[in-house]
Structure 1
Amino acid sequence: MLKRVLALSTLLPGMAMAAGLDGSTMSLNWIIPFAGLLLSIALFPIFAPHFWHDNFGKVAAFWGALFVVPFALHAGVVPTAEVIVHAMLEEYIPFILILFALYTVSGGILVWGNLHGSPKLNTGILALGTVLASIMGTTGAAMLLIRPILKANDNRLHNVHVVVFFIFLVANVGGGLTPLGDPPLFLGFLKGVDFLWTVEHMAGPVLLMSVLLLAMFYAIDSYYFKKEGVLPRDKTPDSALKIYGKRNFVLLAAIVGLVVMSGVWKPGIEWEVMGSHLGLQDIVRDVLLLVIGAISLKITPAQVRAGNDFNWGPILEVAKLFAGIFIAMAPAIAILQAGTSGAMAGLVKLVSYADGTPHDAMYFWLTGTLSAFLDNAPTYLVFFNLAHGDAAHMMGPMASTLLAISSGAVFMGAMSYIGNAPNFMVKAVAEDRGVKMPSFFGYMAWSLACLLPVCIVMTLVFFHY
């Protein structure tokens, strides 16, 4: 195995870095492990589903190691450790702890009732989730409503499209209205973008995108509903909705409060761990997220979680895969951050006209396209800094460019399963409930057919000049 690793390392340029990743000196060969991991996520479930189900964690670890080991041989153990520590402490751990807390708390809220998944009901739930996404975050809204909508459609012959549009709207587009909604916008908020600026400027794009997608969904769902005819209608009568585990709503509010607290409370106390900075506010947030999850498990009756078919499978799948993704994608983010000095300089140059003025349409499409495959939060930050980096200037003379970056990151994070944190979580929960979700490429076929045309409309309306 070591010989194979050494053979791979000979394909990569020699690097002498003092610490961490210097994207300006990195070859595109460094992103081979990340590409391999993406292809594994795309192809193994199709061609080797049993192997993938039993070994996806090992596959993710393999591709992560295929970056780490050659990098350690070239740059040294300490810089490699710094990269891993940064990916884990500053990115992965906060990411997975928020998901854990939201998954655990939302799994303690049971929406009970014998509703039938008609086009009107499904569209209404999607619209409700789209609104809630900007209030409690895309992950919170998605985890709260995915089980009720799955239950409402469990007797439908065709229900895959329901989950696909749920990912489009609740897990992505709906979070575009406030910094609380989606991680990219929260990063902008931390960089100094006013809360109300986001609300005011994103209102138009979010409204238009939501209306177009909801109308498209209603048409598609109506077609399938009529195609199914009387089969397989549930003969039991509808019953009023009842909500159990209501105390968990308080815990959901506490999670949102902790996320906001970590962004606005700056006590100035921090510790440096191998080049990574860990603030007191981050430690407090992460510890309390664990406490909230534990409280939810303690106070929620077992029958409530049983009614939700709650288990740890989906969150464990996300935790294992994204541990590999966060490590393997580090070179790609570093190369992008290098701008015109990096190996992706050709792409970076596309976002400006010859006179240096920003090309808003290209900012929208490049931010969006890369957000589909590189988690949309760091991609947003890369293009935010590339455009100018100063929030006051971005909200003023470059407001249209900031709008393009924000919209691209939020909307096109829905283009693939890995574009935004809740996408894969929704997929995992749906599969756990027996829905035969599309493969990685199958899902992208849906997004290219349904989401891409709407993004073209958005370009013509908001970013054509």
Structure 2
Amino acid sequence: MKRAARCAALALAALAPWAQAAELDGRALSSAGGAWWALPFAGMLLSIALLPLLAPHFWHRHFGKVALGWALAFALPSVLAHGAAATGGVLLHMLWAEYIPFIVLLTALFTVSGGIYVRGNLHGSPALNTGLLALGAVLASIMGTTGASMLLIRPLIRANDNRRHTVHIWVFFIFIVSNIGGSLTPLGDPPLFLGFLQGVSFFWTLKTLLPETLFCVAVLLALFWLIDRHWYGKEGVLPRDPTPDDHRFGLDGGINLLLLAGVVGLVLLSGTWKPGIVLQLPGADVALQNLLRDAALVGVTLASIALTPRAAREANQFGWGPMQEVAKLFIGIFVTMLPVLAMLRAGHDGAFAAVLRAVTGPDGQPLPWAYFWASGLLSSFLDNAPTYLVFFNLAGGDVQQLMGPLAATLAAISAGSVFMGANSYIGNAPNFMVKAIVEDRGLRMPSFFGYMGWSFGILVPLFVVVTFIWMR
């Protein structure tokens, strides 16, 4: 016991220089290196895009090491330029305030949803597939895009296991369920939850973004039905599934429905219950409600593992591979995007001052259409939650103004951050999780650029129409 106590004391002493919350100075980065600090992030993105195509065997065995390498490509020069204490403080702040809550919530939703097995011999006709995507769009704003994606992707895979052309099904699933469907409540997508924590009313996005969301979902569902009907008719799919499931419809692992409600309740409670107690952790000050939420989510995850019948997870072919891939890749993304976000936050004094000038009119007022596209395009490749906060603050950061006279600007930031998370695999975490699960079943998914061919060919024209109707 004494030896353990000494080790703990030494560990705390080692962390002492990093005990205060730290933040990168975007102005200093911009004047000392500027956009060069963004190279590790660019390398991370290119690795995700190209290595699965150019060196698939190497990538699947070593993608975690690649992510670590790019993280070190930022961290080591930062240590030389700013010192170990400052760099360590920034990294610890990112871990406590962003990465750990992000991974804890995703792990809880992944585990709980993966324990719910939908029994029944679903037949993947165009009508059924379209209905499942529509259901997912509704559930995405209730249980989050991650929860809805993890709940429905496995039944959708089983329903279409007798079809040859299925790539379009998974792509539209990511468009609708993993992204756009989650735009109506703070529970739907992390950017909106951050807005809720900033003081945006819970039902503000529902009242404000409902027309745009319904329009986008309706257009995508109609287009999906046309494409799916084409391939369904061309394949001559047998009316009887050659690998039928149990004909009795029902749910196994139903305890996870209660646990899923618990996850939603914990997230909501952490945004409404604010005791005003802040705990000082190494590198960050963390509000008590957030720390308790994350601890409770870990408890929910463990409860799901313990209470779910093994047969339910086996029937779902549940495995930890997709979650491990997301955790390893996103730590690289979170670390390497730190200097990019810092220079964006520096505004006119940062290396990306052109971004701020592009979203502001000659009269100094924000341009909603420009905020929609700027926040959206950056959310396509940066994590959309901190990107939302950057543009929230660029627009003034006054929540009453943004929900009042500048409501069109906040609507544009919210829609851009959520909608355009569908533009690439890394725009939103569920995108990668769906890709990993589909590939884990031996099914084909588009490459990084192949997926962007779908998104830029379908989503970008749709967003142009949205711009002309609403973002003015």
Q: How far does the alpha carbon of each residue in 1:272-330 deviate from its partner, in whole angstroms, 9 at most, with x for none?
A: 23441112112211111111111111111111100000111110111111111111110
What is the CA distance between 1:19 and its match in structure 2? Answer: 5.2
What is the CA distance between 1:234 and its match in structure 2? Answer: 2.2
Q: How far does the alpha carbon of each residue in 1:8-67 deviate from its partner, in whole angstroms, 9 at most, with x for none?
A: xxxxxxxxxx95311112211001001001000000100100000000000000000000
Q: Take 1:236 and 1:107, find their aligned partners in 2: how far apart are those partners?
A: 21
Residue among 42, 54, 62 paired with 1:55: 62
Partner of 2:27: 24
Partner of 2:9: none
1:353 equivalent to 2:345? Answer: no
Q: Take 2:349 and 2:234, find their aligned partners in 1: how far apart are those partners?
A: 55
Q: Take 1:417 and 1:240, find their aligned partners in 2: how far apart are those partners?
A: 35
Flag the 1:19–1:87 CA change in 2: closer, same or farther, 3 A: closer
Flag the 1:45–1:404 CA change in 2: closer, same or farther, 3 A: same
Partner of 1:329: 337
Check conservation: 1:414, 1:447, Cα contact below 8 A: yes
What is the CA distance between 1:181 and its match in structure 2? Answer: 0.7
What is the CA distance between 1:434 and its match in structure 2? Answer: 1.5
Check conservation: 2:162, 2:243, Cα contact below 8 A: no
1:435-446 residue pairs with structure 2 within 5 A?
435-446=443-454
Partner of 2:290: 282
1:415-454 residue pairs with structure 2 within 5 A?
415-454=423-462
Aligned residues: 447
1:181 equivalent to 2:188? Answer: yes
Check conservation: 1:43, 1:440, Cα contact below 8 A: yes
Q: Take 1:138 and 1:268, find their aligned partners in 2: how far apart are those partners?
A: 30
Write out the 4+ residue segments of structure 1 that deviate beyond 6 Å after TM superposition.
none
SS in 2 for 1:195: coil
Q: Take 2:185 and 2:231, find their aligned partners in 1: how far apart are those partners?
A: 34
Q: Take 2:56 and 2:319, find their aligned partners in 1: how far apart are those partners?
A: 21
What is the CA distance between 1:403 and its match in structure 2? Answer: 0.7
Q: Take 2:311 and 2:175, find their aligned partners in 1: how far apart are those partners?
A: 31
Q: TM-score, normalised by structure 1?
A: 0.94
What is the CA distance between 1:240 and its match in structure 2? Answer: 4.4
Q: How far does the alpha carbon of each residue in 1:80-108 deviate from its partner, in whole angstroms, 9 at most, with x for none?
A: 00111011111110000111111111111
Q: How far does the alpha carbon of each residue in 1:233-267 deviate from its partner, in whole angstroms, 9 at most, with x for none?
A: 62477834221111100000000111111111111
Task: Give % identity.
Answer: 58
Q: Take 1:49 and 1:164, find their aligned partners in 2: how far apart are those partners?
A: 21
Structure 2, unmatched stretches of 5+, are 1-20
Q: Take 1:353 and 1:232, find their aligned partners in 2: how far apart are those partners?
A: 58
Partner of 2:71: 64
Partner of 1:193: 200
Partner of 1:13: none
Q: Take 2:39 and 2:243, find their aligned partners in 1: how far apart are those partners?
A: 54
Partner of 2:412: 404
Partner of 1:247: 255
Q: Take 1:209 and 1:230, find their aligned partners in 2: how far apart are those partners?
A: 29
Which letter does structure 1 place at the counterpart of 2:450?
A: G
What is the CA distance between 1:141 and its match in structure 2? Answer: 0.6
Check conservation: 1:416, 1:440, Cα contact below 8 A: yes
Check conservation: 1:155, 1:232, Cα contact below 8 A: no
1:312 equivalent to 2:330? Answer: no
Q: Take 1:233 and 1:440, find their aligned partners in 2: how far apart are those partners?
A: 34
TM-align CA RMSD: 1.4
Partner of 1:171: 178
1:101 equivalent to 2:108? Answer: yes
Flag the 1:101–1:340 CA change in 2: closer, same or farther, 3 A: same
Check conservation: 1:81, 1:274, Cα contact below 8 A: no
Q: Take 1:147 and 1:22, find their aligned partners in 2: how far apart are those partners?
A: 44
1:300 equivalent to 2:337? Answer: no
Check conservation: 2:162, 2:242, Cα contact below 8 A: no
Check conservation: 1:361, 1:459, Cα contact below 8 A: yes
What is the CA distance between 1:198 and its match in structure 2? Answer: 1.4
Q: Take 2:230 and 2:280, find their aligned partners in 1: how far apart are those partners?
A: 57
Q: TM-score, normalised by structure 2?
A: 0.93
Partner of 1:15: none
Q: How far does the alpha carbon of each residue in 1:110-163 deviate from its partner, in whole angstroms, 9 at most, with x for none?
A: 011111111111000000000000111111111110101011112210111111
Flag the 1:112–1:79 CA change in 2: closer, same or farther, 3 A: same
Partner of 2:231: 224
Check conservation: 1:19, 1:78, Cα contact below 8 A: no
Structure 1, unmatched stretches of 5+, are 1-17
Q: Take 2:254 and 2:23, find their aligned partners in 1: how far apart are those partners?
A: 46
1:379 equivalent to 2:387? Answer: yes
1:139-150 residue pairs with structure 2 within 5 A?
139-150=146-157
Which letter does structure 2 place at the counterpart of 1:436?
A: R
SS in 2 for 1:64: helix
1:124 equivalent to 2:142? Answer: no
